[in-house]
Amino acid sequence: MPEEGYTNEPLYRSFLSGEPLTLRKSRLITVSPGEIPRRPRFQGTIDAADLGNPDQLRAVEAINKFYWDSMEQDVFGRTWKISDCENYIAVPDPLLIAEEEDGPDTHGIAGHVALLAEPDFLHIVVFHVWPQWHARGVGWELVYKSIEVARSSNLPSIKLGTTNDNIPALYFYQRMGFVIDNILTGEVEREHGHSPFGFAGIPVRDEIQLRLDLT
């Protein structure tokens, strides 16, 4: 049995070896760009997901249940239903799907973002990329779509939440221009009654809220 908080599913992929990695095995290392093998960049479209379409619903459910085992998300002090959100999926070109590396069944998508407009900001409720599509530009494309949606709604900023252990996400979001807006110390521990283990065995305790200003 895995230790509490761990999963046997590989959530990451090693840049250097390509090995699928669970949370327990994952580590951060400092490398030069030349040491990172080049992987084919994402080519495809970012499409609005119609959850009334059984195939698209199955794809969105699969990626959310893989990462969070739920179609709901607890963040910013409330529970959000993904079905209430504006959902977008990264759909690869068919030729790229044929070149997909071994991994979980993606149901034909590379990633998913769920968005909900608040009065003065766009909330990224969930943001997921399948492990075999990491480091191929999928996340960047999903953030660009989120920016496009926020600007079309005249919203001045985008906000999202993650946890203190999620170092890869904090790295990615800050590279995209997000700044840490608030830290709710002990929020995850209060919600779950304990601190599960997360990335590299770091106890998951705190909710970290980030903001991207568009003005």
Which pLDDT belongs to residue 45?
96
Q: Which two tokens stand for residue 167?
A: 């170092």
Q: Which two tokens stand for residue 205?
A: 């305790």
Nearest by Cα to 206 from 182, 176, 172: 182
CA pair distance 140, 49, nearest whole angstrom: 18
pLDDT in tens, 168-207: 999 999 999 999 999 999 998 888 788 888 898 899 999 9
pLDDT beyond 50 at 1: no
Which pLDDT belongs to residue 149?
98
* β-strand partners of 158: 122, 212
Q: How does DSSP classify residue 120?
A: S
Nearest by Cα to 88 from 54, 63, 60: 60
Torsion of CA 160, 164, 168, 173, to 10 degrees: 30
Name every residue whose Cβ is closer than 8 Å to that of residue 28 and which is 6 or more positions away in sequence.
167, 168, 200
In the three-class reduction of DSSP (H, G, I as helix; E, B as strand; rest coil), residue 156 is classed as coil
Q: In Å, how far are 58, 70, 89, 179 from 61, measured between CA atoms?
A: 5, 8, 12, 29
pLDDT in tens, 26-37: 888 888 878 877
Amino acid letter, 108:
G
Higher pLDDT, 1 or 159: 159
The model's confidence at residue 100, banded by pLDDT at 50, 70 and 90, is: low
CA pair distance 172, 69, nearest whole angstrom: 23
pLDDT beyond 60 at 159: yes
Taking phi over 0 as left and psi of -120 to 50 as alpha, with beta for the rest, 137 belongs to left
Contact at 8 Å (CB) between 138 and 111? yes
Which pLDDT belongs to residue 97?
66
Which pLDDT belongs to residue 76?
86
> Any idea which fold 12-213 has?
Aminopeptidase (3.40.630)
Burial of 115 (0-12, 13-18, 19+ CB in 10 A): buried
**Range in 10-24, 52-66, 158-172 the model is least confident about:** 10-24
CA pair distance 142, 47, nearest whole angstrom: 10
pLDDT, mean of residues 135-158: 96
pLDDT beyond 60 at 118: yes
Q: What does the domain layout of the chain look like in residue ranges? A: 12-213
**Range in 78-92, 113-127, 193-207 the model is least confident about:** 193-207
pLDDT beyond 70 at 146: yes
pLDDT, mean of residues 44-64: 97
Contact at 8 Å (CB) between 121 and 156? yes
